[in-house]
Amino acid sequence: MSTIGPATMTVTQAATVLGISRSSAYECVRIGAIPSIRLGRRIVIPRRAVDELLASAYVEQPATT
């Protein structure tokens, strides 16, 4: 794996990347919409999970004439 930077991000960082509020990000983690890892009391989100979430949300619109 050749990623630049850390492999995980905080919930606050993920919220910024996704353009949602911090509380919304925590709610998405709680319901499982954003995959997360609990390390003791800390919750981290794999960077790859955020990238895949964004990639799956992109739907190319057909050209209109």
Q: Measure Cα distances from 33 to 19, 41, 45, 52 in Å.
A: 15, 20, 11, 12
DSSP lists the bridge partners of residue 38 as: 43
The whole-number pLDDT of residue 17 equals 95
The model's pLDDT over 51-60, given as tens digits with 9 standing for 90+, comes to: 999 998 876 6
Question: Percent of the chain beyond pLDDT 90?
Answer: 72
